[in-house]
Amino acid sequence: MLTIEWDDVTIKDFQTTLLNWFDQEGRDLPWRHDHDPYHVWVSEIMLQQTQVQTVIPYYQRFMDWFPTVTALANAPEERLLKAWQGLGYYSRVRNMQRCARQLLADYDGQWPQTAAELTQLTGIGPYTAGAIASIAFNQPVPAVDGNAYRVFSRLLKIDADIAKPQTRKLFEQVIARIIPRERPGDFNQAIMDLGSSYMTARQPDSAHSPVRRFNQAYLDGDELQYPVKTKKPRPKPVAYVAVLARMGEQWLMTQRPSNGMLANLWTVPLIKLDDLDLENPRDFDELRAAITARFKHDSRLDVQVNQLDLRAVTHTFTHQKWTIQLVAATVTPADLAYFAGQSVAPSALAQLPIPKVQAKIFDRAGIEL
DNA sequence: CAAGCGTGGTG
DNA sequence: TCACCAAGCTT
């Protein structure tokens, strides 16, 4: 609607200005030391919804542990998840292994070079395909991420809602007309650097931006109105009980299901309290009564709930807010089967891939990892 | 297509 | 405590 149009002279001017700035001020990042598609790929997956300074140490260690596509394809999944622990969105690394195996099995270990082919690989969507194709293979294709949305929506005053999937096509068309045939990878990376420096979401510094004269929203004084994005609903509250059960010196641990949240990661048994409001139990007796009732659903089960910590652990995910009551329990071998659990020596706990919420539970219980 | 899927930082 | 943001993809 409000979208500004650029003529060919303006486009050329913008390209030159942006690339000159990138040559002078572009960041020296570990994955920019070469254009190896493996390096580009790993960094791009890690950077999805994740900031650069968080990714850097993970990237270094990942390359240490899995230096090649083959090493990644052959790695035990538990090792992959351990390498990813703390990054979140754990399906990313499981999809990476599927992708590595597809490359070896279906592509003879050779990366396809076009965005269209790359999109066929597991875990590589439109953005990552564009990034790999342009950076590693010099293909003049857009890589539309959050930075590109923010930068181009402001430059051109594009008011389409970026929360809607179809809006991506609009941005791809706009950027396709602006991206240079020469140095498309540098162009895409320059847009990202711009979006994380002078053109940030909340505190842009457009007055000092190398492209301020192209930034129509800034010139009009309304850059914070862009990009337009509908809000997401607040996380839904969910109540759990965490069972801290020691068998001798060992702790009872369970592996999460292979689908859904925190897939294949390890936690103590977590019992969801669908029909109970236990976020703020008045006392131990009330909580024990509720938990006992819940456990009675399986008559073989003989859990002795003998202690608890009334200070709940809370953890907020993108769409759920967990409130977790901790109980110490004595369990029998039958309970182990009920929970599909495994007894783990304290020294072995650190080898398991553990999500943040589980680290909080251990911390609250005074258990060192 | 809308919803599901983590974590850390900031105001 | 909360809302929102940060190099998205899958189903």
Which among A283, A278, A156 is positioned nearest to A218, based on CA atoms? A156
Rounded Cα distance, A88 and A97, in Å: 16
Domain stops at, among A225, A246, A281: A225
User: How many angstroms separate the CA of A310 from the C1' of C3?
Assistant: 28
Q: Which of residues 334-363 of A touch strand B (CB under 7 A)?
A: 355-357
Specify the range with the lowest mean pLDDT, choosing from A54-58, A146-150, A305-309, A363-367: A305-309
Domain stops at, among A225, A259, A289: A225
Number of domains in chain A: 2
What CATH number is given to the structural domain containing A204?
1.10.340.30
Rounded to an integer, the average pLDDT of A344-367 is 94
**Nearest nt (C1') to A54 (CA)?**
B8
The pLDDT score that the predictor gives to residue A280 is 55
Residue A70: partners with Cβ closer than 8 Å, 6 or more residues away: A100, A104, A109
CB of residue A51 closer than 7 A to nucleic acid strand B? yes
Cβ burial, residue A192 (10 Å; 0-12/13-18/19+)? buried
Let me know if residue A305 belongs to a domain.
yes
Own/partner pairs, A20-27, CB within 8 angstroms, 24+ separation: A20/A210, A21/A190, A21/A194, A21/A210, A21/A211, A22/A186, A22/A187, A22/A189, A22/A190, A22/A193, A25/A193, A25/A210, A26/A186, A26/A189, A26/A190, A26/A193, A27/A52, A27/A193
What is the residue-averaged pLDDT of chain A?
Answer: 91
> Is the pLDDT assigned to residue A362 strictly greater than 70?
yes
Let me know if residue A132 belongs to a domain.
yes
**Residue A25 among the catalytic residues:** no
CB of residue A189 closer than 7 A to nucleic acid strand C? yes
The pLDDT score that the predictor gives to residue A309 is 72
Task: Kindly state whether residues A252 and A175 are assigned to the same domain.
Answer: no
Structure confidence by residue, pLDDT tens digits, A11-34: 999 999 999 999 999 999 999 999
Task: Kindly state whether residues A221 and A299 are assigned to the same domain.
Answer: no
Cβ contact A330:A245 at 8 Å: yes
**Nearest nt (C1') to A195 (CA)?**
C7
User: How many angstroms separate the CA of A159 from the C1' of B2?
Assistant: 21
> Is the pLDDT assigned to residue A221 strictly greater than 60?
yes
CB of residue A125 closer than 7 A to nucleic acid strand C? yes
The pLDDT score that the predictor gives to residue A318 is 94
Cβ contact A361:A268 at 8 Å: yes
Confidence of residue A241 (pLDDT cuts 50, 70, 90): confident
CB of residue A201 closer than 7 A to nucleic acid strand B? no
User: How many angstroms separate the CA of A206 from the C1' of B5?
Assistant: 33
Specify the range with the lowest mean pLDDT, choosing from A75-84, A135-144, A162-171, A277-286: A277-286
Let me know if residue A2 belongs to a domain.
no
Rounded to an integer, the average pLDDT of A55-81 is 97
Percent of chain A predicted with pLDDT > 90 = 76
Which among A138, A140, A136, A159 is positioned nearest to A149, based on CA atoms? A159
User: How many angstroms separate the CA of A321 from the C1' of C1?
Assistant: 13
CB of residue A229 closer than 7 A to nucleic acid strand C? yes
Task: Kindly state whether residues A247 and A332 are assigned to the same domain.
Answer: yes
Structure confidence by residue, pLDDT tens digits, A252-308: 999 999 999 999 999 998 988 765 555 555 566 766 776 666 665 555 555 666 666
Specify the range with the lowest mean pLDDT, choosing from A90-99, A245-254, A312-321: A245-254
The pLDDT score that the predictor gives to residue A304 is 67
Catalytic residue among A5, A25, A44, A286: A44
CB of residue A47 closer than 7 A to nucleic acid strand C? yes
Task: Kindly state whether residues A66 and A173 are assigned to the same domain.
Answer: yes
Domain stops at, among A191, A225, A259: A225
Let me know if residue A124 belongs to a domain.
yes
CB of residue A196 closer than 7 A to nucleic acid strand B? no
CB of residue A128 closer than 7 A to nucleic acid strand C? yes
Cβ contact A307:A330 at 8 Å: no
The pLDDT score that the predictor gives to residue A133 is 98
The pLDDT score that the predictor gives to residue A3 is 75
Residues A234-262 as b or e (16 or more Cβ within 10 Å = b): eeeeebbbbbbbebeeebbbbbbeeeebb
The pLDDT score that the predictor gives to residue A83 is 98
Confidence of residue A368 (pLDDT cuts 50, 70, 90): confident
Structure confidence by residue, pLDDT tens digits, A327-354: 888 777 666 777 778 889 999 999 999 9
Q: Which of residues 73-102 of A touch strand B (CB under 7 A)?
A: 86-91
Rounded to an integer, the average pLDDT of A131-155 is 97
Let me know if residue A343 belongs to a domain.
yes
**Strand B bases contacted by the protein (CB, 7 Å):** 1-9, 11
The pLDDT score that the predictor gives to residue A300 is 53
What CATH number is given to the structural domain containing A344?
3.90.79.10
The pLDDT score that the predictor gives to residue A310 is 67
Q: Under DSSP, is residue A262 helix (H, G, I), strand (E, B) or coil?
A: coil
φ, ψ for residue A199, nearest 5 deg: -120, 50
Task: Kindly state whether residues A39 and A144 are assigned to the same domain.
Answer: yes
> Is the pLDDT assigned to residue A2 strictly greater than 80?
no
Task: Kindly state whether residues A83 and A28 are assigned to the same domain.
Answer: yes
Let me know if residue A1 belongs to a domain.
no
Specify the range with the lowest mean pLDDT, choosing from A14-23, A97-106, A178-187, A330-339: A330-339
Q: What angle do CA A46, A50, A54 make, to 5 degrees?
A: 85
Q: Give the range of the structural domain holding residue A352, as residue numbers without chain letter.
A: 236-365
